[in-house]
Every structure is written in C-alpha cells, then in structure tokens.
Amino acid sequence: MGYAVMLLIVFLCHEVSSISILPHQHQTISLLKFKQSFTIHPSAVTYNCPKSYPKTSSWNTSRDCCSWDGVVCDDITGHVIELDLSCSNLTGTIDSNSSLFQLSHLQRLDLSGNNFSNSHISPEFGKFSSLMHLNLSYSNFSGQIPSEISHLSKLHSLRLYSMFYSYNLRLTTHDFKWLLQNLTQLRELDLSGINISSTIPLNFSSHLTTLRLRNTGLYGIIPESIFHLPNLEKLFLDSNYELSGYFPKTKWNSSASLIKLYLRWVNFSCNLPESLGYHLTSLRSLALDGCNLRGPIPESLSNLTRIEYLSLNGNSLNGTIPPGILSLPSLKGIELSFNHLSGPLEDFKSNSLIWIELEGNQLQGHLPHSIQNQVNLTRLDLSFNNFSGRVDVSLFSNLKQLVKLRLSYNNISLTNDNNVTLPESLTELELAAFEVKELEFLRSAKQLRQLDLSNNKIQGRIPDWAWSNWMSSLKTLNISHNMLTSVDSIPLQSLYTIDLRSNLLHGSLPIPPNSTNYFFISHNNLTGEIPSSICNLTSLIMLDLATNNLRGEIPKCFGNITSLQVLDMRHNNLSGNIPTTFSNGSSLSSLNLHGNKLEGKIPQSLTNCKQLEVLDLGDNHLNYTFPVWLGTLPKLKVLSLRFNKLHGPIRTSRIENMFPELRIIDLSYNAFSGNLPSSLFQHLKAMRTLDPSMEASRYGGDQYYQDSIAVVSKGYEREVVRILFLYTTIDLSNNKFEGHIPTIMGDLIALRVLNISHNGLEGPIPSSLGSLSLVESLDLSSNHLVGKIPAQFASLTSLEVFNLSYNHLEGCIPQGNQLQTFENNSYEGNDGLRGFPVTKSCGTTYAVSGQLDGEESNSEFLSDFRKAALMGYGSGLCIGISIVYFMMSTGKPIWFARIIVKLEHKIMMGRRKKQRRQRNCRRRNNH
C-alpha cells in the first residue's frame, strides 16, 4: 500500500513538473521564431531611444527563456507575462501569423522604438485578453489602427504614438469613440501623431491620469468635461490647429492633480483668465504657445509656486511681465517670445532659472544685473526688443553653463571694461547690431557652433586666434555688414554657412572649406577672376558673389555642382559666355547673372535645370534670338532678359505646355521685332488665372536667402520680397515690335504691370485690356496707336500708373474712377484727345501739349533712363533677384526710395522744361 502511494506521488510530481515545463518549451520556440523574423541593425536610427541595444542577442536555448533580456515570466505558472523589446534595433514586419501572438498570457508588451515600416498593426493584437500595457510607439507602423484594439478591456496604458508629422497611422472617428467607450480602465492614452480628424468625444475613462492627443487633426471645441476629469495629471492637446476651446468658467475638478497642461496652437481667442493661477496650483508645466491669447499676463500666475516651465510664445499678450512670475521659487524655464510685452524687465529674485526666452517684444530699459546670479542659466534670448544702455561682458562671464546667448537688435552697446571673456560653454552666440568693435571677449569661447556678429563695427581682419579657437566646432559664421577689409583664408573645415556680405573686403575671392553649404560674400570690393577651385565645393547649396568687381569667365564647372540651388553673380565684370555644362539632376532654383558683360547665346543646357524658378540674365551683351526652349522649364516663374542685344521675332514651339508658371517676363531694351507674340500669351497659364492659394517661393535656407524683385512702378523702386507672384508682370518696352496689340492680352487677368511702350505698335487699343482688373501700371506710350481710348478703361480701379502719351489717339478721354486721378502727362502727344485733363471739356477741340519729334523723344528718354540706371532703376520694370538679409523685408532702405522719387521728379521736371523751350522756339520761328 505504501509503495502504491509512493508511486502515485512520483507520478503526480512528474505530471506537475511536465506541466510547468511545457509553457517554457512552447514559449521558447515562439520567442525564437519571433526573433528570427527580424534583422538587427545596431546602427539604425531609432526615435525616443536614449540607449538602444539588441535585447534579443541574449536569447538562446542554453538559458531558460524567463531569464532572457526583456522577458518576464509569472513565478507560479511560468507563462511569459511581460515582453519589453523597446529600442532593440529590430527591423522587419509583424503579420497576423507572427509567433508573437502565441504568447496569450501577456500583460505588458512594449515594442516601441523599432522599425516595422512595412507593417500594419495586426487585428491579432486585440486577442491579448490579459494585456494591461501596450506600447507600439515610434516603430513606424502604418495604415489603419484595427478596431480590435478596443477589445483590450483591461488596458491601463495604450501608447501608439506615431511620428509626429508623418500621419502614417489612421484611426477612424467611429473606432476612436468605440475605443474610448470600451477601454474603461485606461490610465494613460497616447495617440499623438495619429490621423484621427474628429471632434473630441465625451466618454473618457474617469481613471485617466495622462491624455496625449497631440497633432491628431482634432477639430471643433474642446469639451469642458476633459478639464473636469477627476484624476487627470497630464493633458496634451497641442498642435491641433483646427481645435478651439474655452477655459472653464468653474473650478477645474482636476486642479488638485493637474501638473502638465500643453495646449499649444489651440485657438482660445481670449484673455488669459485669473482663474488659472487660483485653481491650478499644482501645475509644473504650462504651455499655451500660439493660442491667440490677448490682454495682460494675469498677476495670479504668481501663485503657481510649483511651476517649473511656463511658455506663452507667439500670442498677443501685452502689458508688463508681472514681477512675481520672475520670482517663482521652482521656475526653471520661461518663454514669452513674440508677444507685445513692454516695460522694464524686473530683477530675478530666484536663482533656479535654466532658460529665459523673451525674444520679439517691446521690452525696454537696462538689462537687470540679477542675470549674473542665474548660475544655472543655459539659454538667454532677449533679442529684438528695445533694451538700451551699455552692457559689460562681465554680466555673463560667470554663467559657466550658458550655452545659448542671443541679444541681437536692441539699442545696446557692448563694453568690456574688466577685460573678461564669455563662458567657454557657449555654443550659440548672436550679438547682431550690438556695437561690437573687437573680438577679444570671445577668446575663451572654443565650443561655438553658431556665431552672428552682423551689423556691428568690426574692422580690419579676423584675428588668427579666432580661426584657431573655432576650428573644430563652428558651423555657422555671420559677420556681414561690418568693416572687415580682408579675409586671406577661411580655414574652418566644419563650416556650413559663411556670411561676409557688405564689408570692405578687397583682393581675390577667398575659397571656403569643402564642407560649405551656404557662402555669401556679396557687396564687397573683391577683384580678380573666380578660381576654378571653387567647384570643389561639391556640397554647395547657395553661392552669392554679387556686387563685387570680379572679372574673367564664369568657371564652366559650376554647371556640374548638382547640389547648387542659388547662384548669384549679378553686378560684376564677368565676361565670356555663360557655361554650357548644366547637367541633368541639377537643383538650381535661382540663377542671377544680371549686370555683367556676358556675350553669346543663352545655353540650351539650362533646360536640364528642372527646378529653375528664377532666371535673370539682364543687362549683359547676349546676342541671339528668343530662347523659346526655356518654356519647357516646368517651374520657371521669373525671366528677365532686359538690356541685351537679343533680336528677331518671338516665336514659340508647338509644345502644348509652355511657360506654365511664368509670372514675370521682362524683355525690355532689346531689338525684338515682328508682331507681339500672341502664341506666347496663349501659354501663360499663371497669368491667366487668379489663385489665392499660391504660396511665396522659398528655398531651404531662407533664413539667409530671400528672392526679392526690384520693381520701378508707381514712381519709386520697391522690393517685393519672396512673393514672386504679387507683381505678375510683362515688360516688352523699348524693342521694335510692330502690328496690332493682340486682343488675347486681355485674358492675362492676373497682370499687375504691363509695359509695351516705345515700340512701333499700331492700330486701336483693344477693349479687352479693360478686363485687366488688377493692373496697377499700364504703359502703352510712344507707339503709333490710333482711335479712341476704350471706355472699359474707366473700370480699371487698381490703376496707379497710366501712360498713353505720344501716340495718335483721338476722341474723348473716358471719365470715372482712377482715370480722373491722372494728369496731363499721361495723355500728352495725342493731338486728337479731348476732355479732362487735356482740355476743360470734351467739346473743346484744342490740345494743350505739343508733340516732340519721335527720334528726339526717344533719344531724350534713353538719356533720362541712363541717368536713372546709374542709381539702379529704369523707367520700366527692373528685376533683381538679390540675396538680402531678412531686414530688407522690413522696409528699412527708405532712404533709397526717397532718392529714387527725387531723381524721377528731377528728370520729369527737366523734360518738361526742355519741351517748353522747344515749343517756344518753334512758335518764335513760326512767327
């Protein structure tokens, strides 16, 4: 009997042992199959992974699977209940047949930070009935999120964070609501970066502590019930640009627990309420950037004694910064940039601040001395304000952790009375327009990556010690708009951007290191030829050599730099032919060779530059026929060939889609002949339609580069910066065109400027030109036009410049709207015209003004033009694609516009005096 009992015990032990071993064996096989379905890339880029390593490298049969890295088993049953393969460099796919889904007892699964780029989230994930934590974030899943995820009713944490702006994952509105309705145990929900495109449902779990729905395409109004979730600690709804909201009118139920509130780019369109400071006293982070907030910053925010991070950038807040905010004991970061804040910056009473960013306000007064006590400060940005006075380098010299210092564009002058240096920790320094005269204070700054000392008073040359200090670190150097006289060499091998514009540099062109992407050295006094070694810069994206005295031929190798997007060599003394070596794959977007001595043909290899938007070859000696093949460039917006020796009729090919994007064409001052090119006008689609959605042309480096079009219209020169389509323009003036004005020109309804003056055009003015409702400048002067002025011109309400002078027009001048604002000089030289302003009434038959001899008039016009050209403008359209600093768009070169207006007035008065003398002379001779 005892023997039988012993056998029974042994049998039962064996069975129990077998049962406990079976899960291990089964799970080991499943896990190894799962491992084998992926490749491991240790160097692969993984997101949100400070440390990544292949955890599966420890998986082998010599050890129990429960001891493998990332695997946790239940102590009693032996089932795998946790699998953490986050940041494991896995690359591959997870389909519905994956052995992963055989681990049916999983309670926690984390596959974040891997690369499953060809995988959809399988519906099989919904069968993990015991799952409490699921994290599939940052793993490049794509497609529709299956509705089966809502079956995981025990989930406490669901994280499906997709790449923030990729929208690789989608969730239908129905599944979104169904998921929230079923997952009643949720504590944490993160669906950021997933395309939901829905309003926000009301049925959130009352257990929620963290809700992240950033950049999910949500729209409508935020339901107030979210702000009353009783256990909510962290709320992130930022970057939902169609979402709006209202701050709760009653107490926030979550006020006792809410510690992070991120609502950036949600439209509130209201004042910041005082209630924020009274009800949310547990807050540690508050981010309300770009929320269209108005009014002052509430004093009550000084009650947020636990807050560490406060960001209210990009609103319309006004008034002063409440002093209590700057004294909050836990505050580490404050960002109030790009508002309308004014008044002084009070002293900082707390020393806990790590970063201060107040850029782009109207703050004034002296910088507070308490800045020097912020020993933990890493970032300080007070640029673009109205601070004034003298600031000594010693104010910052003891901030040993300072990484970023930006103080540009205030009314501050820098002193160094104590002969100290800035902290060695600095990596970014911007002191533009700071009255810097010397560089000694930078001797210790050996880790600089970005340096902006533009618009200062630095003279002479950059000292050798500076080049040595910055050799290994500096990436961006801007010393433009100073008084440097020489740069013998630029030895920094790591530089990406070099800006030396508007100095007094002379001598030969310095060659930057091969690493350079952006090189700007225009508006200097450089001489000599462009060395062919510049073509070794195979990573070059933008090159600006404009307005120097460079001579010789353009190196042919430029056409082989496929990375080059902008090439500006305008206003030099370059000669020879334009290179013919532009190759397929060229990235060229803007080519400006205006104002040189280039000869020969326009190279047909430019048709390889499929990205070309701007081509300015004006004011050269080019001598050939119209390059009709340029019409095949699909993105060409601006074409200027003015002031050359181009000739012959303008013919277009039979290609169906010619010049589809062209918005500005300037062919003035050439010798084109024949009829105006009706077939060309038929192709100009961008001039025939009004598209309000068109965006300004921009390039990758537009913090440095802006297309600008210098337009002489309405009496002065104006810079139209980056917005190429605003001045849709045709200028065919001063050529030898003849025949009638094509009726089809009236179809170009987007035109702002039309100038076909000083040609040999004849016949009547087509009434179709009255359809150009946007035209602001219309010049048909100095032709042989006959007949009446079309009555339809009275409807041109945008006209500001109007010139029909020196034709053979007759009849009554139409009255009404803009036509009543023009003076006699708009009509002079047309003996048959009657009515205001030529005569008192249309019944009177005499004309006030006589007509100059045509040849005399033309020569006088050209003389006047050349006088004006010396000052940089002409009587027609003057197109320049200039590489200008962003200050050009603020309208600061007003002095230049004033000179233009005065010069134009002087020329006009001179012409009128000369005409009066000639008329008087003729009258005396007749008598």
pLDDT tens track for 587-600: 899 999 999 999 99
Helix (H, G, I), strand (E, B) or coil at 865: helix
State the average pLDDT for the chain. Answer: 84
Mean local confidence (pLDDT), 634-649: 94
pLDDT for residue 838 is more than 90: no
Quick one: pLDDT at residue 46? 60
Rounded Cα gap, residues 332 and 327, in angstroms: 11
| pLDDT(721) > 70 | no
More confident residue, 535 or 782: 782
Say whether the peptide bond before residue 555 is cis (omega within 30 degrees of 0): no
SS3 label, residue 925: helix
pLDDT computed for residue 713 by the predictor: 53
Check whether 698 has a pLDDT greater than 80: no
- Does residue 278 carry a pLDDT above 60? yes
- Give 512-550 pLDDT, tens digit per residue: 988 899 999 999 999 999 998 888 888 999 999 999 999
Condensed to tens digits (0 to 9), the pLDDT of residues 707-719 reads: 555 554 544 445 5
Give dist(CA 713, CA 757) in Å, integer. Answer: 14
Residue 845 scores a pLDDT above 70: no
Residue 13 has pLDDT above 70, yes or no: no
Q: Where would I find the H helices in 129-219?
A: 173-182
Q: What percent of the chain has pLDDT over 90?
A: 63
Beta-carbon count within 10 A of 744 CB? 17
pLDDT in tens, 164-190: 566 789 999 999 999 999 999 999 999
Alpha carbon 780 to chain centroid distance? 39
pLDDT greater than 80 at residue 866: no
DSSP string, 349-406: --S--SEEE--SSEEEEPPPGGGGG-TT--EEE--SSEEEEEEETHHHHT-TT--EEE
Residue 425 has pLDDT above 70, yes or no: yes
In this prediction, residue 21 carries a pLDDT of 46
- Given a cut of 80, is residue 19 above it in pLDDT? no
Res 870: pLDDT: 33
Mean pLDDT of 836-848: 62
Q: How confident is the model at residue 843 (pLDDT cuts 50, 70, 90)?
A: low
User: For the whole model, what pTM was predicted?
Assistant: 0.80
Residue 220: the pLDDT is: 95
Residues 571-596 have a mean pLDDT of: 91
pLDDT in tens, 347-368: 988 888 999 999 999 999 999 9
pLDDT of residue 726: 57
Separation in Å, CA 763 to CA 349, 673, 738: 81, 17, 10
Sign of CA dihedral 834, 836, 842, 844: negative
Q: For residue range 323-348, list pLDDT tens digits in order.
A: 899 889 999 999 999 999 999 999 98
Confidence check: pLDDT of 734 > 70 = yes
72-92 pLDDT, tens per residue?
Answer: 999 999 999 999 999 999 999
Partners of 787 in the β-ladder: 809
pLDDT of residue 842: 77
Give the model's confidence band at 652: pLDDT under 50 very low, under 70 low, under 90 confident, else very high: confident
pLDDT (tens digit per residue) in 42-73: 655 566 677 778 899 889 888 889 999 999 99
- The Cα 248–Cα 223 span in angstroms is 10
